[in-house]
Amino acid sequence: MSTPDEQLLEELLSGKHRALARTISKIENRAPGYRDLVSKLYAHTGEADVIGITGSPGAGKSTLVDKLAETYRERGETVGIIAIDPSSPFTGGAVLGDRIRMASTVGDMDVFVRSMSARGTLGGLSTATADAVKAMDAFGKDKIIIETVGAGQNEIDIVRTADTVGVLVPPGSGDEIQTLKAGILEIADVFVVNKADRPGADRTVKELREMIDLGEGSGFGGGGGGHHGPADTDAAGHGADKSADADESDGGTNWRPPIVETVATKGEGIDDLLAEFQSHQTYLEESGERAENERQRYAEEIRTLLREDVNSLLEDELRRAGGIEAVAEAVRTGETDPYVIADELLEPVEDCLERLETERVPGNQSR
């Protein structure tokens, strides 16, 4: 007889949205058994395109995501949306809750919307977000869109989860573009000047293009240390470099972020934006960068899991030592100091690792 988690997985893989919702809740709450459940999802992932949408508050992210989902549905593709909300400092939950944000797709069961809490992570993305993406991918969603908090430079964590990142820049940003130069703008695969019917849109496009040009070779806008390698594009700032001078080591193309103007409230520019997203997906496949990104992503997931597990072990040691309040009081009264406390707590873990290492050496196995 199958366990409840096995039944849940079976229902998710068979396309039941209620099972998808329950799985994401289990993941977000870190409920017992969630790790085994997520582990079994991996074998069913890898088909969805994951798109991140970020930018400053007020740039129109939610409206744009709504229109993206609507257009994808018109093309016959299914969509999963994860909206990252700021965390409540009291409950840790999403401040705005599981809100209904997608006006154009309400009632469409093939557009699944879920709000999740950032849970105080610096990049606006909780560890659970990547696992929720896996759940939607395993479910069979064709496109998964992550809309982030839009809290500025810390949004760079979205790169670790999304294949393609669209950064929204409102018209007339001016000094804001300069402020964000060293942070959020560097992660863009596509720049989106939304609300392009407002005054200042042309100037914003011009400033973005100039900044990309200036950033060549410096890590910004496709520079050597940035998200992609440098490249030349056409006069409009679109596409991948196909010239004879392109770097042949990555298939002859390098990606430079294009700039797309949209008016999301009217649905203008959406087709152009989706075309650029698709161009970037094609670039990732042809250049081999998708595989490299996935390796980096999984490496970070492993590090994150190890940090969580080691932290849990140390919390157990801390409780055995009398709890954080007791050791803090010992430091306050001068009996010890934080460095000694940390060394004492780590000692059992280090001893265990040393024993394991000894057992791995041929001839030293314990009998």
187 pLDDT tier (thresholds 50, 70, 90): confident
Strand order in the sheet with 79-85: 111-117, 79-85, 143-147, 49-55, 164-168, 190-193, 259-261
242 pLDDT tier (thresholds 50, 70, 90): very low
90 pLDDT tier (thresholds 50, 70, 90): very low
Q: Are residues 262 and 314 in the same domain?
A: no
- Stretch 321-334: mean pLDDT: 93
Q: Are residues 262 and 311 in the same domain?
A: no
Which range of 12-16, 60-64, 168-172 scores highest in mean pLDDT? It is 12-16
| Residue carrying the six token digits 């909780």 | 126
Amino acid letter, residue 106? V
Identify the weakest region by mean pLDDT among 45-49, 198-202, 225-229: 225-229
136 pLDDT tier (thresholds 50, 70, 90): very high
Kindly report the pTM of this predicted structure. Answer: 0.81
Query: pLDDT tens, 276-300?
Result: 999 999 999 999 999 999 999 899 8
253 pLDDT more than 80: no
Greater confidence, 93 or 243?
93
Residue 231 inside a domain? The answer is yes
Burial class (CB in 10 A: 0-12, 13-18, 19+), 147: buried
The separation between CA 222 and the C-alpha centre of its own chain, rounded to angstroms, equals: 19
Cα separation, 17 vs 112, in Å, equals 8
For residue 70, what are its two tokens? 């609507």
| Residue carrying the six token digits 């970037």 | 280
Among residues 45, 66, 62, the alpha carbon closest in space to that of 54 is found at 62
Cα separation, 122 vs 153, in Å, equals 9
177 pLDDT more than 90: no
Q: What is the pLDDT of residue 8?
A: 97
Q: Are residues 171 and 207 in the same domain?
A: yes
240 pLDDT tier (thresholds 50, 70, 90): low
Helix 338-360, helix 324-332: angle, nearest 10 = 130
Which three-class secondary structure state does DSSP give residue 12? helix
Q: Chain-wide mean pLDDT for the chain?
A: 80
Q: Are residues 185 and 319 in the same domain?
A: no
Which residues have CB under 8 Å from 172's CB, separation 6+? Answer: 198, 199, 200, 201, 203, 204
Percent of the chain at pLDDT > 90 equals 45
Q: Given 250, 265, 289, which residue is the final one in a domain?
A: 289
179 pLDDT tier (thresholds 50, 70, 90): low
Residue 141 inside a domain? The answer is yes
Number of domains making up the chain: 2
Greater confidence, 149 or 28?
28
DSSP E strands in the chain: the ranges are 49-55, 79-85, 111-117, 143-147, 164-168, 190-193, 259-261
Q: Are residues 208 and 95 in the same domain?
A: yes
- Stretch 115-131: mean pLDDT: 68
Q: What is the pLDDT of residue 180?
A: 58
- Could you list the residue range(s) of the whole structural domain that residue 254 is in? 44-289
116 pLDDT tier (thresholds 50, 70, 90): confident
Residue 168 near residue 196 (C-beta atoms within 8 A)? no
Cα separation, 51 vs 69, in Å, equals 11
Cα separation, 364 vs 357, in Å, equals 10
- C-alpha distances out from residue 126 to 10, 157, 307, Å: 26, 9, 14
Cα separation, 175 vs 211, in Å, equals 12
56 pLDDT more than 50: yes
Q: Are residues 271 and 308 in the same domain?
A: no
Q: Given 258, 289, 320, which residue is the final one in a domain?
A: 289
Q: What is the pLDDT of residue 123?
A: 43
